Amino acid sequence: MKGSIAMAYQIFKPIASVQGALFDMDGVILDSEGLYTRFWREAAAAFGYDMSYTQAIGLRGLNRETAARQLESYFGPGVDYIQIRNKRTELMDAFVGSDSIPPKPGIHTLLDALKSAGIPTAICTASPRERVKKYLDPIGLFDRFDAIVTTYDVQNGKPAPDIYLKGAEVLGVHPCRCIAMEDSKAGLLSASSAGCMIIMVPDQDQPDAEDLHRIHALCDSLTDVVGLIGHSPL
């Protein structure tokens, strides 16, 4: 789809009667996934592990338990997930410093459109709440959502459906009436299992056949999501 002018989105399944909008944060709201990929690799290297780009991508969106198992599948049962994860956080925080992570293009416009349509919004993220506030406050986005749900608010994080089920619950909307915007495989599986209408906005990689089977629409950017919902019966 990149480079396409005639079509900025593709629809695979009907999107209608939208009553709620659920957002992943990293890679959807924030242009942060490239940083996470970089610092996963640097953190692993600090402890003698050679993590490939593909392996780093494979950790996106996962809850702690699943990510720990994934890391063990890469480097064996002796790998210390918490140690590497904490190092990644340290490197990321040092890099960001007093600056802010830029938002993805179109997020403000999309939130404006959803508000005008009377559609409530929630963030459903694997990041802890304090990090959500730290990253979103400087760019004026923290208070723009009606609710924030993190992995720590549910029993099972992504790829389990809990976080999207909880997001729909706090908005008072049935999951099947919610659109869920995601960029990672773990997030797609989570939102799909919850029964949401999924709009994929790719970030670090493009969807494969399995992803396309799950999603309702594929958009180049959040700006294109505005056009998509503008042509969908809400």
Residue spans of the domains in the chain: they are 9-32+101-230, 33-96
How do residues 9-68 score in pLDDT, each as one tens digit? Answer: 899 999 989 999 999 999 999 999 889 999 999 999 999 999 999 999 989 878 888 899
When the candidates are 3.40.1360.10, 3.40.50.300, 3.40.50.1950, 3.40.50.1000, the CATH number that belongs to 9-32+101-230 is: 3.40.50.1000
Work out the pLDDT band at 1, boundaries 50, 70, 90. Answer: very low
* Contact yes or no for 164/185 (Cβ under 8 A): no
Same CATH fold assignment for domains 9-32+101-230 and 33-96 = no
224 with 48: CB under 8 angstroms? Answer: no
Q: Are 154 and 125 in contact (CB under 8 A)?
A: no
Kindly tell me if the per-residue pLDDT of 225 is higher than 90. yes
- What does the pLDDT read at residue 29? 97
User: What are the φ and ψ backbone dihedral angles of 30, each rounded to 5 degrees?
Assistant: -110, 145
Please determine, for residue 120, whether its predicted confidence score (pLDDT) is greater than 50: yes
Confidence band for 234, pLDDT divided at 50, 70 and 90: low
CATH number of 33-96: 1.10.150
Rounded to 10 degrees, the C-alpha dihedral 89/92/97/103 comes to -110
CA dist 83 and 98 (Å) reads: 24
Q: Quick: pLDDT tens for 144-201.
A: 999 999 999 999 999 999 999 999 999 999 999 999 999 999 999 999 999 999 999 9
Q: Assess whether the previous peptide bond of 14 is cis (omega < 30° from 0).
A: no
Bridge partners, residue 51, by sequence: none
Q: Does residue 127 contact residue 134 with C-beta atoms inside 8 Å?
A: no
